[in-house]
Structure 1
């Protein structure tokens, strides 16, 4: 079964939005995966984006977490064939999109693909020597089991060890890996959440590894109407300014950008070969310039 692509043109989105206003809509019951502790800031932004999208087309909804904690693989499987959840936001990847309803508008304007590194505080001098991708190849990164980012880094020639998400912080602190690349909006929130358990960690201060990536909304296979309304609403939220107002004021985004000094970092750019054709065709207006 082919994936359904939901990146509406302005005219198409306006048509769905008009329909949503003119005809009563039964409230959508949205269920998303329960996540691991410590990801509250990331969840709060995604839910705020969802709310802006649904309000932009006057679509009523209720929302709740699933009973079970679900990592990415299980959540995508539930969207494809189960009923425990009907919405998830996760990294864009051609293989993950197959058979699902996918809204091709990035949640964070591409900031998940702006990767900064969690390192031990006393390792900054090692990273001061890195000037290029070839220099970075002498160090070992950590990434999560089954993450598309693992493949992206390995395809660029970087050394990567994999483990569970929570374990990677301890592996960085203990020196078992040299650095843990994270999206810029993720890194600072995660560092703040783990100051007590991993006090020796810091965000490396001069490098930026960049590739085209972000989170998309994935909607359950049997929930096409929800996907249509959410896609129309997300496009409408861009047009009416509510999304950009959220992006420009939400602490999850703005605290990270204020601390990251992106313009002052040495850029190392690599390809993401795991994008779908629809991912590659997302208009520039939805990405940070």
Structure 2
């Protein structure tokens, strides 16, 4: 091989190796990471729509490529949180926070519903509206039976405020309990109650028209404590879409019509304490919360 040929061969080989190196680097940096979330509990359960859209938006604003997908199987909230803790088949779960949940999992402390999850309306039987309209004091409401998930933070909140609660383990079964008279009402957040009422319209359940409950709380994305990379990327992505207002635009699309429908200024407010709320909850960061008038009239104790 001549000197010129050998030189040309070495040069071309070097170029090829550089190309391979760059190509491999690009392939690695642009590879997609799957993020698995809990599949909706039923085919007509639309409650996952907004948190999935927000999750996609936040991760697309991060510095890595992610693709989100639903879990293969449906699982109730308690099982999903346990699955996430053990790092089994889920990478992220969205849920209401509590001291216990933040001990077990890593919370992304940006409330995805801007606190609306703590504003509660009551699902009741259609024939019971008159009974609720005639209640004069909070103590009368505490003597009626509310139904809630037995392992939900809401159950502990209501009980600590003196309310009677029937705990249940099956989400769909709670609507049946209410319809059959085994409970008097089902407190649900403003963001979900009308969808749930529509899903169970054959049970003659309606949204109560005069009362409003509130307790300070937050609904977060949670990840496994060892998944620091996803935690960092998800928080960074959320903060970026807050800064560029994409978060607000998506939130408004879903929930402005619901707030109009709720007519909260025309309801009697039942304000409750939340002993399960972690001290780290960013209540002082006003940008993260929906601005609801603080002067709503409180119901008589």
Q: Same fold (TM over 0.5)?
A: yes
Secondary structure at the residue paired with 1:222? Answer: coil
Q: CA RMSD in A?
A: 1.8
CA distance in 2, matches of 1:78, 1:92: 17
Larger CA deviation: 128-137 vs 178-187: 128-137
Residue 32 (structure 2) pairs with residue 32 (structure 1)? no
Larger CA deviation: 125-134 vs 83-92: 125-134
Equivalent residue, structure 2, for 1:188 = 194
Equivalent residue, structure 1, for 2:128 = 123
CA distance in 2, matches of 1:268, 1:170: 25
Residue 180 (structure 2) pairs with residue 178 (structure 1)? no
**Would you say the 8 A contact 2:60–2:66 is kept in 1?**
no
Equivalent residue, structure 2, for 1:264 = 266
Give the drift of 1:281.
Answer: 4.5
Give 1 or 2 for the bigger CA radius of gyration: 2
Change (3 A) 1:59 1:133: farther
- Aligned pairs (5 A) from 1:85-96: 85-96=90-101
Q: Map Cα deviations across residues 81-106 of structure 1 (whole Å, 9 max, x no partner).
A: 23311100011111011142210011
Equivalent residue, structure 1, for 2:7 = none
**Would you say the 8 A contact 1:208–1:266 is kept in 2?**
yes
**Would you say the 8 A contact 1:38–1:193 is kept in 2?**
no
CA distance in 2, matches of 1:254, 1:76: 30
**Would you say the 8 A contact 2:63–2:233 is kept in 1?**
no
Larger CA deviation: 50-59 vs 29-38: 50-59
- Aligned pairs (5 A) from 1:58-137: 58-137=63-142
Give the drift of 1:169.
Answer: 0.9
- Displacement over 3 Å in runs of 4+: 23-26
CA distance in 2, matches of 1:38, 1:215: 23
Q: Map Cα deviations across residues 206-265 of structure 1 (whole Å, 9 max, x no partner).
A: 100000123200012221101101001111111100000001112xx2342232111211
Give the drift of 1:133.
Answer: 2.4
Q: Map Cα deviations across residues 188-210 of structure 1 (whole Å, 9 max, x no partner).
A: 010111213x1x11000110000
- Aligned pairs (5 A) from 1:266-281: 266-279=268-281, 281=283
- Aligned pairs (5 A) from 1:142-221: 142-163=147-168, 164-196=170-202, 198=203, 200-221=204-225
**Would you say the 8 A contact 1:105–1:282 is kept in 2?**
no
**Would you say the 8 A contact 1:92–1:214 is kept in 2?**
yes
CA distance in 1, matches of 2:274, 2:137: 18
Secondary structure at the residue paired with 1:31? Answer: strand
